[in-house]
Structure 1
Amino acid sequence: MNYRFIRNLIGKMLILVSILMIVPLVTSFIYVEDIKNIIAYIIPMVSLAGIGAMMAYIKPAKETHLGAREGFVIVALSWLLISLFGCLPFLISGYVKDFFTAFFEIASGFTTTGASALTTEEMNTMMDMGGRSLMMWRSFSHWIGGMGILVFVLAVIPESKEGSSVHILRAESPGPQVGKIVSKMRASSRILYLIYIGMTIIEIISLNICHIWDDNMTFFDSLIMSFGTAGTGGFASTAESCALYAPCSQYVIATFMILFGVNFTIYYWLFIKNFKDIFHNEEIRWYLIMVILSVLIITLQIYKLYSSLEEGFRHSYFQVASIISTTGFSTTDYWSGAQGRWPALSLCILLFLMFCGSCAGSTAGGMKQSRIIILTKHTGSKIKQMISPRKVEVIRMDGKPIEDNVIQSTVAFFIVYIVVLFASALLISIWNPAMPQEDQEPLTMITASLACISNIGPGLGAVGPAGGYANFSWLSKLILSFEMIAGRLELFPILILFHPRTWKKRI
């Protein structure tokens, strides 16, 4: 294990996070907030910069071997550390009294989950009593975590090795296969971030244009909603999420949620006019077909619950976009709203989309469409082999054979995903004394676990669009926080930390 390299890169990451905290600090100055809010950012900024500088001071030897093990450890420890330091502004400012709630909140932010453990009173206090900088920090953490903080480190810091960059990108980026867009990994990281920044700016501009028809969509709101959409997070600027915005704003947000759920390589191919690869990409076809079919079926089921077909279609389009992209925004309460609960089929479709998620290489969570495709084809291949044992089946994706190790890792991921999902659901069911007895039902616990491991935010039952995680115990919040981080990092980097062999010397 190359401890010097691990310490050095984590130190650089901590320094970068301290610099990024300038955004909420500046927000605090702009809105002339209380001095305690300013101190709430200065203390963690100085701490991060100081600790990061000490860790990054000793540089690793250039000739040392760097493998996948170091990449997994760097990514896992980095995400745990930024969550620990990132929750300090909530505690120091006094808006959140409980450490586990603050940790849950910022872990939900960085992992782009968007699940909130704040009570309605804490949310209203934050919004009404000068906590805009904290709202900015919550949503900006979505944007930081969406593409990956270490991907950004690789893009801006020129010292890390190309081989180590590959392992770090694979550990932090979602999907069964992670490769380079161009020959150099650092150049690939920069291209990804340029696309990410460009799309975020376009959404901010689009939402500001919507302000012509939507008085609720202020410039501050456009930033909050764009950061949440880009990172496929879910923290909104109001307790009602997106329900108060005009239809034009809702359509823009929904469309960008779908766009940010697409593999970013597709946008690079569009830029270089590589239409052939786009046309042959199975994942994008599955993704768009799933969106279209889900919207049509749900619209036909729910339009009578609303005042017009357009309103029914808009809520259907928005919720499908929100759930499949694992963003978690909402325009209506499909579980316990005034219009009535959505039909069972519509809710089952949303539950299925929670599980599937969007494309690999996007900022979304979930299983990913590419894994669903591989598992489906692998299952079909096994059935054919049972019928014709001597026939050799080659599983292909995008017209190319899928390597056996990719299939094996996909199956392993699926098994671990299911085990962690239900194990967490069982653990959070043990002790929640503040939660009403009628809310402690299996549907709530299972969908809470699913919403956290898939980085979605809202589930069904007590954690539906109008609910939240405030009544969960400190133990449940801690379990769900680790589940969010594990889900964002695709499980294995976090699990590897607990394996004894990880910390042994390389043989």
Structure 2
Amino acid sequence: MRWRLDWYASLSLVGTVIKYLALTMVVPLIVAVIYGEDFWVFLVSLAVALGIGIGLEQFDDDPDLGPPEALLLVSVSWLAVAVVAAVPYVLAGYGTESTLRLPVNALFEATSGITTTGATVMGEISVDSHSHAIMMWRQLTQWLGGMGIIVLMIAILPELAVNGAQLMQSEAPGPELQKLTPKIAETARALWIIYFGFTIALIVILYGLNLVGLAPEMNLYNAIAHGFSTLPTGGFSPQADSIAAFSAVVQWVIIPFMVVAGVNFALFWHVLRGEFRTLVDNTEFRAYAGAIAVLVAVLTSVLALGGAPALERGGVTEGLTENTIRQAAFQIASLMNSTGFATADFAQWDQHAQMLLLFTMFIGGSAGSTGGGVKVVRWLVVLKTIRRELYTTVHPDAVQPVRLGGKVIDEDAIRGIMVFTLLYIVLFAVSAVFLELDSARIGEPISTLEAFSASLATIGNIGPGFGSVGPFGNYEGFSALSKLLMVFLMWIGRLEIVPVLALFVGRIQDR
């Protein structure tokens, strides 16, 4: 049975999403007024976004969503929001030497923000080179994309709440959606309230450090900016040196919040209800926390033995010191769940340390978190499935279900996880080869490690890679064609591949 796709219904609701998200431009507009910068940029951008949103709404007065329309709405909404989010960059860069004046660069930066990737094409990253309003918009796009645009819309728009479960399943990071309340709109609101609460907590703590003299550089602007990019595991910073620009105490404070951002937010809902055992007994959480602990210990050992030279921007000296432990803990917490902040130029570390960090990038955060990557729960299922196949090869008559947390995993779910993981690896590898070949074509060759890390950093929504795309580098040197490929990777990676690829299938059949 072939599904019929109602484009008008989906595009109408895409317009509704854009119309309401246009209102978020009021935040950088206020910043522009305070600092006397770029007021007209956000005034025009807000008007353009409202016009696009209202215009698209006219396609259908009473949209009705089925499964294919839900996929289309989710996929197109993220792409459309990225396009609209690029408008302020183009306007602010018009008539200047800013790299963002070019539409492809602006789209790359906007997509990187809204998908919480944190990769940048900005040659100069600071409020000295760009206005406070533009830099705050850059941070805000990450915060909006962190918990999910559609999840936010379901929480506030009744017309989307009707199909909320279906929409959230298409957008939610991870193989399954956990419904916390009888109504899906209440679940969406609960997740956003928890997300908002952690963000406010971090902002208050960071600015509090400034007030007591422990973080003189962490003024209110920087506290808000980094609150907006830590919880969504985004990684953008208005400082060229990222978190290396701040004191050690700031770095220690941000580490646990990065770890929290990679935890399934549904577990915090249970904790708030007094169900503490739900967090402790969760198999994925234990695996996630255990992996971080082991990786930090291994990287600390590598660095203590001389795995990183003494460098500027938070370099590491040999020996087991507070700095060595902090650098290891920060980089693992940042890359494990795709935050992308940096306190050291790990692109200059030795091969052993770099390979460990590359391995860390593959793991990802938890399902239901704001982290990117493959996700811990998928790797658990993949490993258990491999173990089962090896066992049944020796014992062909045995019935060996795959269990996780004492529960049997449905075979359809296992198949979906295996398909996603295979697609992820294939897309990552093919894209890496393309990036290396295309860089040679334009006379700016990059190494295989740089190509692979750039591909992994974009499809995994991680941000920094190695070499020229390291934590203090950028993606400006790639061709427009390569940047568009990475825009695609960021988009498809944030939506977990399958919902987007389903739209490219000529025939979508009902089961």
TM-score normalised by structure 2 residue count: 0.92
Instruction: List structure 1 segments (4+ residues) > 4 angstroms apart after TM superposition.
Output: 57-62, 433-437
The residue identity in structure 2 corresponding to 1:203 is: L
Separation (CA, whole Å) in 2 of partners of 1:300 and 1:433:
37
Question: Which residue matches 2:311?
Answer: none
Question: Which residue matches 2:345?
Answer: 333
Contact 1:173 1:361 in 2 (8 A): yes
Question: Which residue matches 2:358?
Answer: 351
Question: Which residue matches 2:335?
Answer: 323
- Does 2:145 align with 1:145? yes
Give a deviation string over 1:374-394, Cα, whole Å, max 9, x none: 101011011100010000001
- Does 2:481 align with 1:475? yes
Q: 1:393 to 1:234 in 2, by over 3 A?
A: same
Partner of 1:429: helix, strand, or coil?
Answer: helix
Q: What's the offset of the Cα at 1:464?
A: 1.5
The residue identity in structure 1 corresponding to 2:113 is: G
Partner of 1:322: helix, strand, or coil?
Answer: helix
TM-score normalised by structure 1 residue count: 0.93
Separation (CA, whole Å) in 1 of partners of 2:269 and 2:183:
15
Separation (CA, whole Å) in 1 of partners of 2:347 and 2:496:
29
Contact 1:434 1:471 in 2 (8 A): no
Question: Which residue matches 1:219?
Answer: 220
Give a deviation string over 1:80-118, Cα, whole Å, max 9, x none: 111111111111112422111111111000000000112
Q: Percent identity?
A: 33
Contact 2:119 2:462 in 1 (8 A): yes
Partner of 1:160: helix, strand, or coil?
Answer: helix
Q: What's the offset of the Cα at 1:186?
A: 0.6
Separation (CA, whole Å) in 1 of partners of 2:217 and 2:143:
22
Question: Which residue matches 2:404?
Answer: 397
Contact 1:6 1:70 in 2 (8 A): yes
Q: What's the offset of the Cα at 1:435?
A: 7.3
Separation (CA, whole Å) in 1 of partners of 2:232 and 2:14:
22
Contact 2:271 2:278 in 1 (8 A): no
Separation (CA, whole Å) in 1 of partners of 2:353 and 2:270:
34
Give a deviation string over 1:305-341, Cα, whole Å, max 9, x none: 42761000000110001001201000011222xxxx2
The residue identity in structure 2 corresponding to 1:294 is: L
Contact 1:428 1:475 in 2 (8 A): no
Separation (CA, whole Å) in 2 of partners of 1:58 and 1:485:
25
Give a deviation string over 1:421-480, Cα, whole Å, max 9, x none: 11211222232379775x511111111000000000111222112222111011111100
Give the 5 Å matches for 1:58-137. Answer: 61=62, 66-94=65-93, 95=98, 96-120=100-124, 123=125, 127-129=127-129, 131-137=131-137
Question: Which residue matches 1:460?
Answer: 466
Contact 1:175 1:368 in 2 (8 A): yes
Separation (CA, whole Å) in 1 of partners of 2:374 and 2:21:
28
Gaps of 5+ in 1: none
Give the 5 Å matches for 1:103-502. Answer: 103-120=107-124, 123=125, 127-129=127-129, 131-162=131-162, 164-211=163-210, 212-303=213-304, 305-306=316-317, 309-336=321-348, 341-342=349-350, 344-432=351-439, 437=444, 440-501=446-507
Paired residues in the alignment total 489
The residue identity in structure 2 corresponding to 1:170 is: Q
Partner of 1:183: helix, strand, or coil?
Answer: coil
Separation (CA, whole Å) in 1 of partners of 2:10 and 2:448:
41
* Cα-Cα RMSD: 1.9
Q: Is 78-87 or 424-433 further displaced after alignment?
A: 424-433
Contact 1:73 1:496 in 2 (8 A): no
Partner of 1:432: helix, strand, or coil?
Answer: helix
Give a deviation string over 1:246-287, Cα, whole Å, max 9, x none: 111001111100011100011001011223332321100000
Contact 1:174 1:365 in 2 (8 A): yes
Q: What's the offset of the Cα at 1:54?
A: 3.0
Q: Is 84-93 or 4-13 further displaced after alignment?
A: 4-13
Separation (CA, whole Å) in 2 of partners of 1:261 and 1:470:
28
The residue identity in structure 2 corresponding to 1:255 is: P
Contact 1:444 1:463 in 2 (8 A): yes
Q: 1:392 to 1:458 in 2, by over 3 A?
A: same
Separation (CA, whole Å) in 1 of partners of 2:389 and 2:395:
10
Give a deviation string over 1:319-372, Cα, whole Å, max 9, x none: 001001201000011222xxxx24x33322211110111100000100000000
Gaps of 5+ in 2: 307-315
Contact 1:434 1:472 in 2 (8 A): no
Question: Which residue matches 2:309?
Answer: none
Q: What's the offset of the Cα at 1:30?
A: 0.8
Contact 2:92 2:101 in 1 (8 A): no
